[in-house]
Structure 1
Amino acid sequence: MPGIFGGVGCPPALYEALRADFAATYGKSEAVHTAGGMLGGHAFGSRSALHVAPGGGHFAVDGELSIYRLAEDFARGDAPCFYRLRSGELDLEPTCKGNVAAIDPRSGAWHLATEWTGSFPLYYCVVDGGLLFSSRLRPLARITGASVDLIGILEVLERYWTLEGRTHFKDVRRLLPGQILRYEPAGGRLSVRETSGLWASASPGETDGNRDVVEQAWSTLGGAVRRSLPAPGRHAVMMSGGWDSRTLFAAMLEQAGPDRLLAYTHGDLGSRELGLVERICRWAEVALHREPLGEAIYDLGALERGFARVENVLFPHWHRAGAVLAEAGVSSVSAGVYGEVLGGHYGPSMVLGGTRKMAAVAAGLLGRSVGSANGHHAARDFLFTRRAAKPWYLAPAAWDGVPDPAASVNADIEAALRRL
């Protein structure tokens, strides 16, 4: 798992502690003292996360495989820039699939940027008037001595993730999708700017009326696939019987050909869905690895590595897939997770509970909509917490220290909805 870290305006011992933590976890890390602080990272394989821009100023990247090739080519002057510094502000180009930390050589300002999907975490906090940041949360919290945020813990337990930039620790924030942070060391000023237009409708000038929409979407998907492919290596695709993985599989087949592809599926090897995957791969003449959900998934050493590197093992079978595919010599892996989001997989039945969940499932089977026709009103109705009960394993004294948990969670949900 790659990542970036650094800081400016803080005691140097904090930067060194971050670098030591990354090096201990991954076996190595890159870092440079620059512009009054430290910037560092860890990249895939032999690639580098840390570079110097053609116009001066260090930058570091963390993201998909394509961002490391772009960064190397950009630093050599062989490729267009994937981020721009204009009028003291940093903006990411659409080709940037990950996070960027960059220093403006003119003003000395530090910029942290996340692309619109927010697929890769980036955390930050202000310490002694300075800025610290890291792709991993726990080292940042440990080094700064941050205390636990019980509302953040409650959101993870109820929503599987934190909301509105909150984390498991007080005063440590996550940079949200499309946000760009600017920090001025001279005055200690920090600002966060919103840039995402992910959910905005296309304006009339943004679509080509002479091209079929499906053709345009397929061409765009093909371009994304090409960027994700390793130059000489083999690529894997996580396969199921669903439309999202099959669409991605078709694009991979067109761009890479069957010889460079390896399909991977896991689950009940005798199930109807895995049988469908086998038929698809036989038709396409693509090799298929079938992995049972056995005891290997819960190997203690693998779980410990997952916690240290990724900080959660919510889906241990995906961690197992990474280990198996690495042993098979695969250079990169793609999955159709975004298809599940855009296709409505995470709908009302996923967020409701109890009898409301049963009603939502029944409505879905009957082809009926649930809730208000107004998207924001429906989201509030589905997502808002009506009451927050103390988890059985939490000490009463800790729970009593949170004045109104439901109101705090709902305020974060409301703030998240306002960003759409």
Structure 2
Amino acid sequence: MLLKASFATQNAPFEQIKPTPHAKCFPNDTETELIGRFEGQQIYASGTREFLKEITDAVKQDRQLIDDGMLDTKFNNPGLLIICDYGKRIIYMQSDLIGLFPAFWGTSEDGFVISDSIPQLQAVIRGDTDDVAVAEIISKDYTVGTRTLFKGINRVRPGESLLFDLGSRKVRSVDKSQLWTPGDSSSMQSLIQTGAELLVEACRPMTGTMLMMSAGWDSKTLLAGAFAAGVADTIHLYYHGAVDSREARLIRAQADRFGLQLTMKGLDPSLFDHGFLQSSFERYSDVMNPHWHSAALFSARVNPEVQSVSAGIHGEIIGGHDGPPDFLSGWRKSASVFCYLTGVPILRGPHPSGKEISPRDSVGNLKLYHRGKPWYMCEDVWRDRFEGIHAQVDRDIEACVDRYIARGTVWPEAVVEAFDVENRLNQITSDQLRSAATFKPLLAPFANRQLMEFSCGVPYEKKVHRTLNQKVVEKLFPELLEYPTAAVLCKSGRPILVQEVTRAIRKATEDGRWWMYRTTNGKVSAPNFGWPNFQFLQHSTAMRDMVNDLKSPLWDKEKMATFIDNWGYRNYHGLQGVMMKVKTLDLFGVS
């Protein structure tokens, strides 16, 4: 959708225009579309089926959606809403609490332009490449706050309500989210009961869904909710990855035991073919996760009884996945998790400390990222344009923290979680779910407003590293706890601290096996404890071919080709992640 609002035109200032051929977007259930005209207003929306029904009901009931001059919907399901008011010559726009359905805006010479696609908007705005945004994606995999890859194009933040006034040519922004404000002080038993009840209600619409399945906690928790809601026997499980891995075996064992439909799809080099990536970018404006795009094609061909596509992605919030430990690495991360699980008030953040810290001190965690020149960038370009640019990245991070503090967030752990959810989860992982749901309606139980508000309100100490997940699953469908997750070596019903110890053992064992695999040139087989999903690339020219197709002057293509040729007997998971980031930037046309 591309909506243009003219400053000059009085009678019909709003125009939905078709995208240009080089910024096309294929039909998609998650696109923003005009859904009705009511009393001098046009209403545009994108969202889940449940969200669109809520809008229809609200209009029929003449429900008041404007509060204090701003759109304030408080719908229970995620979606984006835009209202164009002809009489007032105003556009109201509001994003859902986690920004699951994206929107962007800019100002042209003659009006405001709004779209759910950056390439469509860039075709009108024609902004220069924003080097700070490029640096953010290179170092963190996502842009921060309102920033996008092009100057003059702004991202609508989760929970943000915007008012575009054509008369004054001004834009007003109000943060309507109250997530991560002072949390729930209830007992653990009460939290488990409330969490279980909200999860079951959120999972009731899962009848006939295709659930993107892993052997992790998020999909395990969704499955428990589906069993408790009485709809699990209608679910179709879908797994993509290494079909001979330990994770695949764990999923197959659960599907067999509980009588669930399961499709397992191995990955292959065709995912990285230039033609497939080009068409994927035209459809999704992103090729970070081409295997999720492939899942969309599968969903279009499966049994018509499959009514929606879902994934456990947003379960990271109730699972305590996005706290301070996840910005650390190595022994410091393990020590931080241990301290949170045992209540020891040291080594929780980036610096050993036993004293209380303020929410602003969380900035230390958020600034822990690589700042040097990446191996794939041209030396001259880095020196001329990117040397020292991370001071501006830090300012973007600080602006986000200021926003959360102004909202009323008081705990540093909550600030860290809010930042990770509203930036990384909002862009990278939400893109996965939206792309998988291209041809079927998207269903996002964890993004249910009541469940989301509850999850964000639980103190981090009470949900750290799946503490709350485990108790909720135990209450709803304890049989699932008899199976380990892919990351640990014991049943998921064992104490979380024990599981974390086995995680460290698994990681050390896996690292050792990768070392042996590399030093023996493959005579010792690669480990399959974790996620060897992209090891087929070792015997493919896909990565090298991708280098040949790159166009942007940012890349040192000669060094990249040599680096890939010498990768040899190593884990290809990280390499393909870097290459898909580079390819996405290249397809955006960053210059």
TM-score normalised over the length of structure 1:
0.80
**CA apart distance, 1:395:** 6.4
**Distance between the aligned counterparts of 1:11 and 1:104, measured in 2?**
15
Q: Deviations over 1:43-81 (max 9, x none)?
A: 469xx9322365551111112232233344445x2x685
**CA apart distance, 1:399:** 4.7
Higher relative CO (Cα under 8 Å, sequence separation at least 6) belongs to 2
Amino acid in structure 2 at the alignment position of 1:19: K
Which of 216, 234, 237 is the aligned partner of 1:263? Answer: 237
**CA apart distance, 1:215:** 3.0
**CA apart distance, 1:283:** 2.7
Answer yes or no: is the 8 Å Cα contact 1:258–1:285 preserved in 2. Answer: no
Answer yes or no: is the 8 Å Cα contact 1:18–1:140 preserved in 2. Answer: no
**CA apart distance, 1:309:** 1.8
Answer yes or no: is the 8 Å Cα contact 2:241–2:266 preserved in 1. Answer: yes
1:215 equivalent in structure 2: 193
**CA apart distance, 1:169:** 0.6
SS at match of 1:290: strand
5+ residue gaps, structure 2, are 341-346, 405-591
| Residues 1:316 and 1:351: Cα distance change in structure 2 (over 3 Å) | farther
**Distance between the aligned counterparts of 2:370 and 2:261, measured in 1?**
50
**Distance between the aligned counterparts of 1:20 and 1:349, measured in 2?**
43
**CA apart distance, 1:299:** 4.3
Q: How does 1:39-118 map to 2 (within 5 A)?
A: 43=29, 49-52=33-36, 56-75=40-59, 77=60, 81=63, 84-104=65-85, 107-118=88-99
Amino acid in structure 2 at the alignment position of 1:295: P
**Distance between the aligned counterparts of 1:67 and 1:22, measured in 2?**
30
Which of 378, 384, 390 is the aligned partner of 1:406? Answer: 390
| Residues 1:226 and 1:50: Cα distance change in structure 2 (over 3 Å) | farther
Amino acid in structure 1 at the alignment position of 2:99: G
| Residues 1:267 and 1:386: Cα distance change in structure 2 (over 3 Å) | closer
**Distance between the aligned counterparts of 1:165 and 1:265, measured in 2?**
34
**Distance between the aligned counterparts of 1:298 and 1:374, measured in 2?**
46
SS at match of 2:146: coil
Q: How does 1:232-381 map to 2 (within 5 A)?
A: 234-255=208-229, 257-328=231-302, 329=304, 330-347=306-323, 350-352=326-328, 357-363=329-335, 369-371=347-349, 372=351, 374=357, 376=359, 379-381=362-364
Alignment of 1:7 with 2:4, yes or no, is yes
**CA apart distance, 1:239:** 1.5
Amino acid in structure 2 at the alignment position of 1:413: I
**Distance between the aligned counterparts of 2:336 and 2:265, measured in 1?**
31
**CA apart distance, 1:91:** 0.4
| Residues 1:71 and 1:301: Cα distance change in structure 2 (over 3 Å) | farther
**CA apart distance, 1:240:** 1.7
1:140 equivalent in structure 2: 121
Which of 139, 147, 151 is the aligned partner of 1:166? Answer: 147
**Distance between the aligned counterparts of 1:195 and 1:263, measured in 2?**
36
**Most deviating of 104-113 and 406-415:** 104-113
**CA apart distance, 1:401:** 4.2
Answer yes or no: is the 8 Å Cα contact 2:108–2:124 preserved in 1. Answer: no
SS at match of 1:131: strand
**Number of matched pairs:** 386
Answer yes or no: is the 8 Å Cα contact 1:57–1:102 preserved in 2. Answer: yes
Larger fraction in helix: 2
Alignment of 1:226 with 2:204, yes or no, is yes
Alignment of 1:416 with 2:400, yes or no, is yes
Q: Deviations over 1:253-302 (max 9, x none)?
A: 34462442101112222222222212222232210111112234334443
Amino acid in structure 2 at the alignment position of 1:201: P
| Residues 1:164 and 1:5: Cα distance change in structure 2 (over 3 Å) | same
Alignment of 1:150 with 2:159, yes or no, is no
In percent, how many aligned pairs have the same letter? 24
**Distance between the aligned counterparts of 1:201 and 1:385, measured in 2?**
26
**Distance between the aligned counterparts of 1:112 and 1:399, measured in 2?**
40
Answer yes or no: is the 8 Å Cα contact 2:66–2:73 preserved in 1. Answer: no
Answer yes or no: is the 8 Å Cα contact 2:360–2:401 preserved in 1. Answer: no
Answer yes or no: is the 8 Å Cα contact 1:51–1:60 preserved in 2. Answer: yes
Supply the RMSD in Å over aligned alpha carbons.
3.4
**CA apart distance, 1:365:** 7.3
Larger fraction in strand: 1
Answer yes or no: is the 8 Å Cα contact 1:54–1:74 preserved in 2. Answer: no
**Distance between the aligned counterparts of 1:402 and 1:24, measured in 2?**
28
5+ residue gaps, structure 1, are 29-41
1:31 equivalent in structure 2: none
Q: Deviations over 1:190-241 (max 9, x none)?
A: 111111111113478xx8x9x94333222322333335x47xxx31111122
SS at match of 1:163: coil
- Which runs of 4 or more aligned residues in structure 1 lie more than 6 Å from their structure 2 counterparts after TM superposition? 14-17
SS at match of 1:92: coil
SS at match of 1:389: coil
Answer yes or no: is the 8 Å Cα contact 1:306–1:313 preserved in 2. Answer: yes
**CA apart distance, 1:409:** 0.6
2:166 equivalent in structure 1: 185
Amino acid in structure 1 at the alignment position of 2:174: R
Amino acid in structure 2 at the alignment position of 1:49: E
**Distance between the aligned counterparts of 2:383 and 2:174, measured in 1?**
34
Answer yes or no: is the 8 Å Cα contact 2:140–2:369 preserved in 1. Answer: no
**Distance between the aligned counterparts of 2:296 and 2:231, measured in 1?**
22
Amino acid in structure 2 at the alignment position of 1:307: F
**Distance between the aligned counterparts of 2:297 and 2:230, measured in 1?**
23
**Distance between the aligned counterparts of 1:114 and 1:365, measured in 2?**
33
**Distance between the aligned counterparts of 1:103 and 1:6, measured in 2?**
10
Answer yes or no: is the 8 Å Cα contact 1:61–1:67 preserved in 2. Answer: no
SS at match of 2:24: helix
TM-score normalised over the length of structure 2:
0.58
